[in-house]
Structure 1
């Protein structure tokens, strides 16, 4: 079982973090932090999409309620 977790560790350290290792040695602040700007933009887009879907769901939910008399 530990080989499975060591495999995951190896994947992240030696394969998936190669672009981040390359960005670490750049002298430009903008180039080094462009990945953070991309993640923040994706987060904002996802948040506003989620809020739009919640608004649509909330408006549909109001129509299905029946008043008790």
Structure 2
């Protein structure tokens, strides 16, 4: 309810969402992350694994079906 949100839909790209995730991990001073993505969330999980993220230790996604359509 009382939270704010970006005014533009263009602020909700995977890059922005992953940036928010990385920012949250930094703010919480998380040492290691084992990220699990499922279904459409797997696409969000892949993005931090494509760039060096010091806290990322492992990424797991099980049979992300969208890959079969691309």
Q: Which has the larger radius of gyration?
A: 1
Which structure's residues are more often strand, by fraction?
2
Task: Identify the TM-score tier after normalising by the shorter chain.
Answer: under 0.3
Larger relative contact order (C-alpha < 8 A, sep ≥ 6)? Answer: 2
Which structure's residues are more often helix, by fraction?
1
